[in-house]
Amino acid sequence: MGELANCPRCHAVFMKGTAAICQTCVKKEEQDFQTVYGFLRKKSNRTASVNEMEAKTGVPEKQIRAFVKQKRLHPSQFPSLDYGCEKCGAPIQEGRICGACTEEFGQNLKQLERNQQFADRIKEQEKPKAKTYYSSEYDSFE
């Protein structure tokens, strides 16, 4: 059994189950999807930009991009569809982050690895010095 929650879209109270939104909003979302998909099924509309789709279908741009991100619409079939990179917001057609951000993450990981290796070398160099200890037993020379 689901838990009681407020719909993030219409703020109605509903039983949260498999969907994160209420049934009314699920139906509205499905209706919007069918509207956009019906628009794109016409060969002349397949190259339409997201802004053109929004203007001609009345479905918000954010919702159209959500359909692409949810993989309900495939950019390989509709080349002008895209959504934003999760890090910088640049338009992408697949994955979660763009190539530039992927490269940046890779460079940051390499730098982190070099820093860790440097810290390990310093620790190894300091090890022989750390083995020196003093005992009170040998402190007096009587």
HSE value, Cβ hemisphere, 13 Å, CA-based, for 38: 10
Counting beta carbons within 10 angstroms of the beta carbon of residue 127, is it exposed (0 to 12), middle (13 to 18) or buried (19 or more)? exposed
Q: What is the DSSP letter of 19?
A: S
Residue type, 29: E
Can you say whether the dihedral through the CA atoms of 74, 76, 78, 79 is positive or negative?
positive
Q: Is pLDDT above 70 for 90?
A: yes
Question: 3-state class of 78 per DSSP?
Answer: coil
**pLDDT recorded at residue 129:** 67
pTM, entire model: 0.66
Q: Over the stretch 50-63, which tens digit does the pLDDT of each residue have?
A: 889 999 999 999 99
Which residues neighbour 58 within 8 Å (Cβ) at sequence distance 6 or greater?
A: 35
